[in-house]
Amino acid sequence: MTHSSYNPYKIAQYQFDKVADLLELDDGVRQLLRQPMREYHFSIPVRMDDGTVRVFNGFRVQHNDARGPAKGGIRFHPMETVDTVRALSMWMTWKCAVVDIPLGGGKGGVICDPHQLSMREQEQICRGWVRQIAKNIGPWSDVPAPDVMTDGQHMLWMLDEFETIHGGRFPGFITGKPLGNGGSQGRTEATGYGVVYVLVTALDEMGIALDKTTASIQGFGNVAQHAARLYTQLGGKVLAISCWDQNDMTSYTYRKKSGVNVIELQDIADKFGTIDKKRAADLGYELLPGDAWLEQDVDILIPAALESQIHRDNVENIAPGVKVVAEGANGPTTPEADEVLHQRNILTLPDFLTNAGGVTCSYFEQVQCNTNYFWDKNEVLQKLEKYMTSAYIAVGDVARRQKISMRDAAYVIAINRVAKAVQARGWA
Ligand SMILES: NC(=O)C1=CN([C@@H]2O[C@H](COP(=O)(O)OP(=O)(O)OC[C@H]3O[C@@H](n4cnc5c(N)ncnc54)[C@H](O)[C@@H]3O)[C@@H](O)[C@H]2O)C=CC1
Ligand SMILES: O=C(O)CCC(=O)C(=O)O
């Protein structure tokens, strides 16, 4: 079964319901939190380079903003669905709550394939997206950021369009901006580094020395590359990395049993995180099927590509020695697979805790933009590590005390915080 057979929104609601039952959550609060508060669907007409007009479908979903403006990325993907955006917006609410930053949850997307679009066409999509939703987003209500196949350049086009429409400078409207244009030091690295900060603390608690561990990673984009870099800098060895290959419309795993050289692979990857097959072969990498990343005899698996990648039909292929799954992607593990990991005593570091480094740094970016005073990289990363480590420790405490999984414990903390905000405002 492929990941597209799973509905991420149903999975997000299933995860929520399970913990809402455990918490005996008030019925009104439950009804409010198990679905988004607002969603926008719109068309974005774009004049293409060949002179024709194409209409793209765009979305923004604001799941909950009781704790602060909705926050979350914008994804460009050909298989994007509104249910995926709904799920991602829900997970953003829990993510901001579990790291205790004063933001809610939102997410956006456009059904498009940037591989097939010129930069001018992508710019028109960005500007068109903002034109359709400019009245319903802003630093005071909903603050976008990058996600899959979007980056700082897309954010800057969006900012420029927003500022043109509203007639002013609003650098806090969007995060993940380039340095020098209101971006924060460390934002590019933040999600991947955050994954490793959490992993370091978890391994420490397990009495495992990181520099004696091996890992296999799915994805080689923003999150995966920076996670791989910090993990290897700390002495870990990455044995395999998988990524999507647009030319062959399939994924491959690149393996080097002596340990991959992350910088060398970054040099031969394109901006979409696709590794060049031929050059990888020249550098001595074995080319394996896409799913092989999951089957490696390693200590740590880091899914950092897309949702529902570890599912009931492949979870049994995980090697017996795997001790930790550190979820860099949003929703990479389906509930059935999650249950198998739990039974096998594999520690799963849940997505909305483990990959919260990106939004935490986005929050820092907003704070810096609002005060117009920018911090150096060390300061940003020190603060980031503190937020990530404290959140991990708090989740671990709840998991131990209540004898529940790390995922359920992260939900317990996040749902309680959001429920409290919703009730205090008198919404439910
Ligand atoms: N960029 C960010 O700050 C954050 C991203 N995330 C999540 O992390 C995940 C990855 O995001 P980014 O790294 O930003 O995206 P990206 O677009 O930079 O990279 C995605 C990577 O996944 C690979 N990929 C796609 N389909 C694949 C498949 N079927 N098999 C193997 N590899 C595949 C691509 O080749 C690429 O290397 C997503 O779930 C995203 O929502 C979560 C928190 C923050
Ligand atoms: O940086 C942000 O605001 C959100 C990043 C994001 O989309 C995510 O954490 O999934």
The answer, yes or no, to whether any atom of ligand 2 lies below 6 A from the CB of 114, is no
Adjacency order of strands within the sheet including 324-326? 286-289, 250-255, 237-245, 214-218, 300-303, 324-326, 347-349
Distances (CA, A) of 252 to 53, 243, 247, 400: 35, 6, 12, 38
> What sign results for the dihedral spanned by CA atoms 61, 65, 69, 70?
negative
What is the predicted pLDDT for the residue at 1?
A: 36
Residues 149, 237, single domain; the answer is no
Distances (CA, A) of 216 to 228, 231, 340: 9, 11, 19
Q: Which amino acid is at 110?
A: V
Residues 330, 275, single domain; the answer is yes
Contact (Cβ atoms closer than 8 angstroms) between residue 296 and residue 240: yes
Does residue 377 form part of some domain?
no
d(CA 35, CA 14): 12
Distances (CA, A) of 69 to 63, 152, 172, 403: 11, 21, 11, 33
Q: Would you say residue 2 has pLDDT above 90? A: no
Residue with tokens 């397990």: 206
Q: Tens of pLDDT along 364-388?
A: 999 999 999 999 999 999 999 999 9
Mean pLDDT of the region 219-237: 98
Does residue 368 form part of some domain?
no
Residues 179, 194, single domain; the answer is no
d(CA 166, CA 134): 8
Q: Considering only CA atoms, which residue is closest to atom 31 of ligand 1?
A: 243
Among 336, 354, 372, the domain-final residue is 354
Does residue 290 form part of some domain?
yes
Q: Tens of pLDDT along 170-200?
A: 999 999 999 999 999 999 999 999 999 999 9
What is the predicted pLDDT for the residue at 4?
A: 61
Q: Considering only CA atoms, which residue is closest to atom 4 of ligand 2?
A: 72
What is the predicted pLDDT for the residue at 5?
A: 81
Distances (CA, A) of 193 to 117, 150, 207, 232, 252: 30, 19, 21, 11, 24
Residues 93, 150, single domain; the answer is yes
Does residue 19 form part of some domain?
no
d(CA 154, CA 56): 16
Q: Tens of pLDDT along 277-289?
A: 999 999 999 999 9
d(CA 217, CA 232): 12
d(CA 35, CA 20): 13
Q: Tens of pLDDT along 127-160?
A: 999 999 999 999 999 999 999 999 999 999 999 9
Residues 312, 174, single domain; the answer is no
Among 135, 164, 183, the domain-final residue is 183
Residues 219, 75, single domain; the answer is no
Does residue 172 form part of some domain?
yes
Residues 169, 53, single domain; the answer is yes
The answer, yes or no, to whether any atom of ligand 2 lies below 6 A from the CB of 330, is yes
Q: Which amino acid is at 126?
A: C
Does residue 408 form part of some domain?
no
The answer, yes or no, to whether any atom of ligand 1 lies below 6 A from the CB of 330, is yes
Residues 101, 207, single domain; the answer is no
State which of 63, 96, 101, 191 you would mutate to test the pocket of ligand 2, scoring each by most atoms of that ligand within 8 A of its C-beta.
191
What is the predicted pLDDT for the residue at 120?
A: 98
Number of H helices, E strands in the chain: 14, 12
d(CA 67, CA 420): 9
Mean pLDDT of the region 226-248: 97
Q: Would you say residue 252 has pLDDT above 80? A: yes
What's the number of domains the chain is made of? 2
Q: Would you say residue 292 has pLDDT above 90? A: yes
Q: Comparing C-alpha atoms, which of 54, 60, 43, 178 is closest to residue 118?
A: 54
d(CA 252, CA 309): 14
CATH number at residue 221: 3.40.50.720
- Chain CA centroid to CA 131, Å: 25
Q: Percent of the chain beyond pLDDT 90?
A: 99
Residues 283, 149, single domain; the answer is no
Q: Tens of pLDDT along 203-212?
A: 999 999 999 9
The answer, yes or no, to whether any atom of ligand 1 lies below 6 A from the CB of 333, is no
Q: What share of the chain is helix, strand, coil (3-state, %, to 5)?
A: 50, 20, 30
Does residue 22 form part of some domain?
no
Which residue range forms the structural domain that includes residue 86?
37-183
Residues 242, 347, single domain; the answer is yes
How does the average pLDDT of the chain come out, rounded? 97
Q: Considering only CA atoms, which residue is closest to atom 2 of ligand 2?
A: 359
Q: Would you say residue 36 has pLDDT above 70? A: yes
What is the predicted pLDDT for the residue at 105?
A: 98
Among 148, 183, 218, the domain-final residue is 183
How many angstroms does the Cα of residue 89 sit away from the middle of ligand 2?
9
Angle between helices 357-371 and 187-206 (to 10 degrees): 130
Residue with tokens 């020190």: 382
Does residue 399 form part of some domain?
no
Q: How far apart are the first and last CA of the chain?
A: 39
Please identify, by atom number, the ligand 1 atom nearest to the C-alpha of residue 95.
Answer: 43
Residues 179, 238, single domain; the answer is no
Please identify, by atom number, the ligand 2 atom nearest to the C-alpha of residue 91.
Answer: 10
d(CA 151, CA 188): 9
Residues 205, 173, single domain; the answer is no
* 71 phi and psi angles, rounded to 5 deg: -145, 140
Q: Is the ipTM of this complex over 0.95?
A: yes
Cβ atoms within 10 Å, residue 403: 8
Please identify, by atom number, the ligand 2 atom nearest to the C-alpha of residue 95.
Answer: 9
pTM score, whole prediction: 0.98
